[in-house]
Amino acid sequence: MKTFQVDFIDPSGKEDFALFDAESIEAAESMFENEFGTACAIGNISDYDEEPEYDDSMDGDFDSAMASAGFGTDEDYGYYGEE
């Protein structure tokens, strides 16, 4: 059994999600319809990972932050480190 996340839009237009333990995506969709009816528009149904992997490989990296901000890197300006 897996946990599935069902993204949906409620009748007022608010986006939300619900989690269901089911054998398949189809079973999770059926469980959603039994609980919420057909008034909500189902969006995406996907496997739910309780602990998503966080990629912190670039956290605190000044050069990559400046490059992302459009300022380039030291190499772009001809500096390759002290010789």
Where are the domains positioned within the chain? 1-47
Per-residue pLDDT at 23: 92
Name the amino acid, one letter, at 53.
E
pTM recorded for the entire structure: 0.55
Per-residue pLDDT at 20: 92
Which residues of the chain fall short of a pLDDT of 70? 50-60, 72-74, 83
Per-residue pLDDT at 62: 75
CA distances from 19 to 7, 32, 33 (A): 9, 9, 13
Per-residue pLDDT at 54: 67
Spatial CB neighbours of 25, under 8 Å, sequence gap ≥ 6: 4, 45
Per-residue pLDDT at 52: 62
Per-residue pLDDT at 58: 58
Contact 45, 30 (CB under 8 A): no
